[in-house]
Chain A
Amino acid sequence: MRDVAFEVNGKACRVAVEPRTTLADCLRHDLGLTGTHVACAHGVCGACTVLVDGEAVRSCLTLAVQMEGAAVTTIEGLSSEDGLSPLQAAFRKHGAVQCGFCTPGIITTMHALLTTEPHADEARVREVLSGNICRCTGYMAMVAAVLEARAAYQGAPA
């Protein structure tokens, strides 16, 4: 077992993990943050995407021990108890959620995109979104939701 200390959703944490433990398993099973989902475990589908120092990262292909000193943000960290963020609200309004299993990874990925590129056009949104697989929606509603949510990121500090 190895000790690793990092920040998750703004809080410092220290966990003892086997070196082979993925960040996804550590978040889900050691830290109880089950909003991060594992759907393929080989880095293709994007369901497990979290933010590491602001960058969208596949937590199934990242080892927990690599996180020493890093700041990790999960879907829980992008959500509030009171309601939905503008990005989440746009997803709901446009019917961009069906089974909801891929949704947390897509919200984290699109949040990372709009934070750095708040004026991303449809082609760019689709390009980045193509790294995440959704089996239910066919993506049309998601793209519409992300384009609408851009307004909330424009003018905000990156």
Chain B
Amino acid sequence: MNAPLRGPGNNFVGQSVERLEDMRLLRGQGLFTDDVSRPGLVHAAILRSTVAHGWLRGVDSAAALALPGVVAVITAATMGAKVPAIPMRLAPLDELEPYWQPVIAADKVRYVGEPIAVVLAESAAIAEDALELLVAEIEALPPVVDTATALADGTLLFEAQGTNLAVLYTAQKGEAQAEFPGAYVRREKMDTQRHTATTMETRGLLAEWDATTEVLRIHGASKVPFASRGMLAKQMGLPETSIEMIEVDVGGGFGMRGEFYPEDFLVPFAAKHCGRPVKWIEDRREHLLACNHAREFDCDLELVCSREGDILALRGTVNGNMGAYMRANVAVAPRNVGQFLSGPYAVPNVHVEVRALLTNKTPTGTYRGPGRFEADFFRERLLDLAADDLGIDRVAFRRRNLVKMAEMPYPLATVTPPKKEEKLDSGDYVMTMDLALAELDWDAKLPLQGKLIDGRYHGLGVACFIEGGAAGPRERARVELVEDGTVAVYVGSTLVGQGLETVMTQIAADAMECSMDTIRFFHGSTTYVSEGFGSFHSRSTVMGGSAILLAIEELRQRMREAAAARLGCKAEAVRLEEGRAVAPGGGALSWAELATAGLSGDGVFHNHTHTYAYGAHACHVAVDPRSGHVEVVDYVAVEDVGRMINPLALQGQIVGAVVQGLGGVFLEHLVYDAEGQLLTGSFADYLLPTATDYRSIRAVAMGVHTGAVGPLGAKGAGEGGIIPVGGCIANAVAAAFSGKVQPMSLPLSPSRLWAMIEAAG
């Protein structure tokens, strides 16, 4: 197991320390974006397209401007000759630039919800009233809502491009398209439905332009404030140093929040335009319409196995319904579906083509476990079908094919673009599966499988996963000894509601060999460090935590040197204790006294490889064939994250992620009609899990096989809990009906499952 990071003093790392941020959050003292106000505040509301696809012929704002209290109306015309577009932050390709989203519709609208105009008014209510008075003239075109229509290229979103296929990713390894004489082949079409993160706090921004100092200050930045600052600076024609992104409390991230959206330009632009602070708070309907959607993929895949049960090849095509534009991080999910289809299994030959297709729906982006949730559903379903056909127990089939420790590092398929090689780093994959089965009491429950008991069929499911983490390129931290004897820690990582302050403080206190109270933690805002890369791809702990360790190492050296100069001894002879620097002769200085020398340390942690946390889920379901309702009787999630910093916080994230995954399996569906209208615009029709839905969700988190990235040995975590849920549950449902019902499509809502049960007779 893990040795203490720095002994013999502290060992906060690895302890379930109560979270620091809870003290304010539990007492209503958090500071979220809408809690920030400014004198002279102007409120923004956004007119959005009600048509999925059409030519925008003009916006009549005369009546809105006449309404008392309206300050201004901004349209594309306000921006002058060229409307800025939103660049891609992750996996950008030059050839995708034509598909970037303009920050406001100029000549064409491509999805319901696309911004057309911004109203600024003295109150939020007046701004919303004024929206009713704006008239957008739109000449409707036929909408493209599904991937089949998009592929046919009969209607094009971008006429000049001649295709709706934005990019094709190919995952390649070995010779998957070869003939495999005598082999078993199973081919299936499957799909996952459009749903998304749906954070409890909607998005919001407060922007103010200080004309005297020429500084644009923006509250509500999150996730990647430095990247967003760079994009905004370019769009606004300002130097980056003129923009301050301020991070406040964040009501949930899950990949959705903090990517660059049209409003991230429109609200700052409005503030500079009208010379007053501007606040925009998204409402829930807007959120469901305008935030990145996710997860809408369909596939046609073949799994090739030997008759003995060795996986030989995985091949086929996947279509991603990416929505109307290639925005910010839209490329991540389709790339990941290709990358993660083989998951934790040894698959010698892979050839999978993933098409990122444009449709007249809300643009997509990452949602916790992007591409991995989808890929796991497709793969784990195929594994059960193959095992059943081959007459092999599905646990034995998995045990046979999981990558073994001796095979690490194990090469995954290479995805092109960008043609970067990926390897599974470390782990005992079979161990986590066996543990999940033992925790569920699999063997004892097996006799229930397929049985009708008190009107319900019982089934068990198992699924395995890998979770990528620790995205580079680097993270930066600065630590300062403060004159009151505390240590200020600044890092470029960001808070998205994941307990970052606590985890980072644990790491810093261990390294400083001081109490957690002595650490003061500052993060995220662009005013603290010169650059930062934020919180995505489960990277904050590994990257930010490692940068903090490096910075503290430097600070402690400076402290020894400063103490030595004043105490008249050699630096290496100085002993640092909590709050004191002690010379061998007995002389000592307090940290407060040392701080007058202005001591600090900087750390930059570079990394270009990924960590792979991994694990397995097992579940027991009971299905009522009369209603299609599935009760999740028990659910166990096991994950090895290399090193646990805070086990309680980690377990909480795993349980939370499983329940989000169950929402995606049973409840959550962004439903569109044939005209491209979103039909699920409230929490009354977009259903999220509630406390009565899933009563027994258990997480077993462990730190056994450390990651190779950084001194912590931690692997990125927090997303893993959602990844295998679709495959695990669908496999259990299939097992409950002894294979006569085979879910190939999510969600497994009662009506859809009931129809499948009826069809199976």
Contact = CB atoms under 8 A, between A and B. Distances in A.
A125 B651 CA distance: 22
Contacts of B30: 35, 100-101
A134 interface: yes
A112 interface: no
B511 interface: no
Contacts of B497: 98-101, 136
A135 B200 CA distance: 6
Nearest to B24: A100
Contact of B652 (A102, A129, A141): A141
A95 B656 CA distance: 11
A56 B37 CA distance: 28
B27 interface: yes
B43 to A, nearest CB: 11
Q: Chain A interface residue count: which class? A: 35 or more
Given A45-B200, A137-B652, A92 B26 contact: yes
A38 B200 CA distance: 9
Of the listed residues A20, A41, A138, the one surrounded by the most CB atoms of chain B closer than 10 A to its CB is A138
A75 B24 CA distance: 11
A96 B655 CA distance: 11
The main secondary structure of chain B at its interface with chain A is: loop
B202 A39 contact: yes
A113 to B, nearest CB: 12
Contacts of B683: 40, 42, 44-45, 133
Contacts of A3: none
Chain B's interface size range is: 35 or more
A99 B28 contact: no
Nearest to A76: B28
Contacts of A80: 27
A79 B32 contact: no
Identify whether the interface residues of A are mostly helix, strand, loop, or mixed: loop
A19 B73 CA distance: 26
B697 interface: yes
A99 B496 contact: yes
A17 B105 CA distance: 36
A86 B249 CA distance: 24
Contacts of A75: 27-28
Interface string B683-697: 110001111111101
A44 B684 contact: yes
B205 to A, nearest CB: 16
A74 interface: yes
Nearest to A18: B125
A34 to B, nearest CB: 4
Interface of A: 18, 20, 28-29, 33-42, 44-45, 47, 74-76, 79-80, 84, 88, 91-93, 95-104, 107, 125-127, 129-143
25 contacts: A28-B34, A34-B32, A34-B34, A45-B683, A47-B200, A76-B28, A92-B26, A95-B649, A95-B652, A98-B656, A99-B199, A99-B201, A99-B496, A100-B21, A100-B26, A100-B30, A100-B251, A101-B251, A127-B692, A132-B690, A135-B688, A138-B657, A138-B694, A139-B689, A139-B690
In order of increasing CB-CB distance, the 7 nearest A-B pairs are A35-B28, A99-B497, A100-B25, A101-B251, A138-B659, A75-B28, A79-B27
Given A40-B683, A139-B691, 8 more contacts: A20-B125, A74-B28, A97-B19, A98-B652, A99-B496, A101-B252, A135-B197, A139-B694
